[in-house]
């Protein structure tokens, strides 16, 4: 078998890997790099050609891969599926994923056939390869550890995952199946490394559930705004359900284009129900109109909005900049159900947003967050469960990937013998 590391092996973002087994080629993920979009925010990305997007390192450079039997998308984060509308069509291959992720692909108007897989199904792709999705938790619903059963052994693609044993939407990870796969024998593990430098195990989303409960018990009587990741359906759903249960005399408004998009996909695929007192508005004109109504009686509404990182066009950023008809006043409460993504641009952007909101009189509650990625000891658990013959770490910069290698060496692996550091656009043959 041969592994082509198209991108995502030097950065967090634009994940794309190609596997070749006895002539059958399969693509795993097709993502964009979100922080690169921020760097080029003076340019309208939607007007750039594919070539320019590759040159700016926003999308993968797959120009040297020409054919594939299938494109497998592990989950619906932009760094895993965000480039499908630009790159998938040349392959004339079906996109295989779980229903929620396929809903998101549909919104991208891809021309490829969409092929739905459920957890536990094993789908034959080529003569020598079949694929299985194993249930795992993450910070977006319907994430899978992908298992490729091939004539040359099993390849496990764990990118991304979290081991949350007390999730608040869906089940705990399917450890039984993972253990079984491990017993059957794994040739190669390709694994993310995003939070490898965090010690211990990643805390459960249940913690955030309890924190939201505490927040809901102590809400003030002025304007209230929550912001979080639009794709974090579990957290948004918990927030809505907790507020709804409290029977607070306020209507809940969810505002922002990506909020609408992800929630629509979640509703369409039957993951959540939206209570009656919740309305969702995605279009700019709709948001302006509803906020004109809200501003006269802010104490009758709770807003859940985009903009937790201070993204330029998001609702909270526009509010802070006075570009929407909602004025922050003394005593208004703003809850960030998110951490700060630690790249310098983002840190600066978030600082600007928070400072502006504070200067306008808001009370800021921030860093209400747990990660969606495995920590160091979760990674050790996965190695022990699967006991793979070879490992290729990915989804990180060189520092993260090296840190993973150190962990694997503690588990008996040796660099360049059975664990390999690969950079983007390299190939590795495994016998």
- Using CB under 5 A as the criterion, which residues of the chain lie in contact with Zn ion when the complex forms? 77, 160
Instruction: Compare residues 229 and 301 and give the one whose CB is closer to Zn ion.
Output: 229
The b-or-e profile of 90-112 (16+ CB within 10 A means b, else e) is: ebebbbbbbbbbbbbbeeeebeb
Q: Map residue 24 onto helix, strand or coil.
A: strand
Instruction: Compare residues 291 and 392 and give the one whose CB is closer to Zn ion.
Output: 392
Instruction: Compare residues 77 and 350 and give the one whose CB is closer to Zn ion.
Output: 77
Give the chain's end-to-end CA distance (angstroms, integer): 7
Give yes or no for a contact between 86 and 49, defined as CB atoms under 8 angstroms apart. Answer: no
Give yes or no for a contact between 188 and 391, defined as CB atoms under 8 angstroms apart. Answer: yes
Instruction: Compare residues 17 and 317 and give the one whose CB is closer to Zn ion.
Output: 17
What phi and psi values does residue 18 have, to the nearest 5 degrees?
-120, 135
Give the nearest distance from C-beta 427 to Zn ion in angstroms: 25
User: Distance between CA atoms of 131 and 149, rounded to whole angstroms?
Assistant: 6
Give the nearest distance from C-beta 80 to Zn ion in angstroms: 6
Q: Map residue 82 onto helix, strand or coil.
A: coil
Give yes or no for a contact between 286 and 278, defined as CB atoms under 8 angstroms apart. Answer: no
Give the nearest distance from C-beta 277 to Zn ion in angstroms: 31
The dihedral formed by the CA atoms of 349, 350, 351 and 356, expressed in degrees to the nearest 10? 90
Instruction: Compare residues 301 and 375 and give the one whose CB is closer to Zn ion.
Output: 375
Q: Is 217 exposed, middle or buried (0-12, 13-18, 19+ CB in 10 A)?
A: exposed
Give the nearest distance from C-beta 296 to Zn ion in angstroms: 40
Give the nearest distance from C-beta 160 to Zn ion in angstroms: 4
Instruction: Compare residues 73 and 239 and give the one whose CB is closer to Zn ion.
Output: 73
Instruction: Compare residues 14 and 77 and give the one whose CB is closer to Zn ion.
Output: 77
CA-to-CA dists, residue 89 to 84, 109, 180, angstroms:
8, 11, 36
User: Distance between CA atoms of 387 and 185, rounded to whole angstroms?
Assistant: 8
Give the nearest distance from C-beta 210 to Zn ion in angstroms: 24
Give the nearest distance from C-beta 113 to Zn ion in angstroms: 24
Instruction: Compare residues 29 and 354 and give the one whose CB is closer to Zn ion.
Output: 29
Give yes or no for a contact between 225 and 254, defined as CB atoms under 8 angstroms apart. Answer: no
Instruction: Compare residues 243 and 400 and give the one whose CB is closer to Zn ion.
Output: 400
Give the nearest distance from C-beta 211 to Zn ion in angstroms: 22
User: Distance between CA atoms of 344 and 162, rounded to whole angstroms?
Assistant: 25
Q: Among 102, 135, 141, 140, which residue's Cα sits nearest to residue 120?
A: 135
Strand order of the β-sheet with 333-337 is 278-281, 251-255, 301-305, 224-228, 333-337, 363-365
Instruction: Compare residues 74 and 150 and give the one whose CB is closer to Zn ion.
Output: 74
Give the nearest distance from C-beta 146 to Zn ion in angstroms: 13
Give the nearest distance from C-beta 342 to Zn ion in angstroms: 16
User: Distance between CA atoms of 328 and 144, rounded to whole angstroms?
Assistant: 41
User: Distance between CA atoms of 368 and 131, rounded to whole angstroms?
Assistant: 37
Instruction: Compare residues 101 and 128 and give the one whose CB is closer to Zn ion.
Output: 101
Give the nearest distance from C-beta 59 to Zn ion in angstroms: 17
């Amino acid at each position: 078998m041969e592994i082509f590391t198209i991108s995502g092996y030097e950065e967090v973002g634009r994940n794309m890997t190609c596997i070749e087994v006895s002539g059958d080629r399969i693509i795993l993920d097709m993502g964009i790099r979100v922080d690169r979009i921020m760097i080029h925010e003076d340019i309208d990305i939607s007007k750039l050609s594919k070539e320019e997007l590759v040159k700016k390192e926003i999308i993968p450079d797959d120009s040297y891969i020409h054919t594939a039997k299938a494109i497998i998308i592990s989950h619906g984060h932009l760094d895993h599926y965000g480039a499908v509308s630009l790159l998938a069509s040349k392959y004339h291959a079906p996109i295989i994923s779980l229903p929620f992720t396929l809903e998101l692909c549909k919104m991208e108007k891809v021309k490829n056939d969409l092929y739905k897989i459920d957890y536990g199904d094993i789908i034959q792709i080529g003569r020598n390869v079949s694929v299985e999705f194993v249930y795992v938790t993450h910070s977006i619903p319907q994430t899978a550890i992908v298992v490729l059963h091939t004539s040359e052994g099993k390849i496990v693609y764990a990118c991304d995952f979290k081991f949350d044993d007390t999730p608040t939407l869906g089940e705990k990870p399917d450890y039984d199946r993972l253990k079984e796969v491990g017993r059957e024998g794994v040739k190669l593990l390709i694994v993310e490394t995003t939070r490898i430098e965090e010690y211990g195990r990643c805390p459960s989303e249940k913690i955030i559930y309890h924190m939201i409960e505490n927040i809901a018990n102590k809400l003030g009587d002025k304007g209230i705004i929550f912001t979080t990741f639009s794709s974090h359906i579990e957290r948004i759903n918990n927030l809505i359900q907790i507020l709804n249960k409290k029977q607070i005399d306020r209507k809940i408004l969810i505002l922002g284009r990506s909020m609408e998009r992800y929630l629509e996909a979640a509703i369409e695929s039957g993951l959540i129900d939206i209570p009656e007192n919740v309305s969702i508005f995605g279009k700019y004109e709709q948001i302006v109109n509803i906020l004109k109504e809200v501003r006269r009686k802010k104490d009758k509404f709770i807003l859940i909005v985009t903009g937790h990182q201070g993204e330029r066009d998001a609702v909270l950023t526009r509010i802070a900049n006075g570009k929407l008809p909602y004025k922050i006043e003394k005593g208004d409460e703003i809850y960030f159900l998110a951490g700060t993504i630690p790249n310098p641009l983002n840190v600066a952007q978030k600082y600007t947003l928070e400072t502006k909101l504070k200067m306008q009189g808001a009370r800021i509650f921030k860093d209400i967050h747990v990660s969606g990625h495995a920590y160091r000891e979760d990674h050790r658990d996965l190695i022990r469960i699967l006991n793979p013959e070879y490992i290729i770490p990915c989804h990180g910069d060189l520092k993260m990937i090296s840190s993973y290698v150190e962990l694997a060496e503690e588990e008996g692996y040796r660099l360049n013998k059975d664990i390999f550091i690969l950079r983007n656009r390299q190939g590795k043959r495994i016998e």
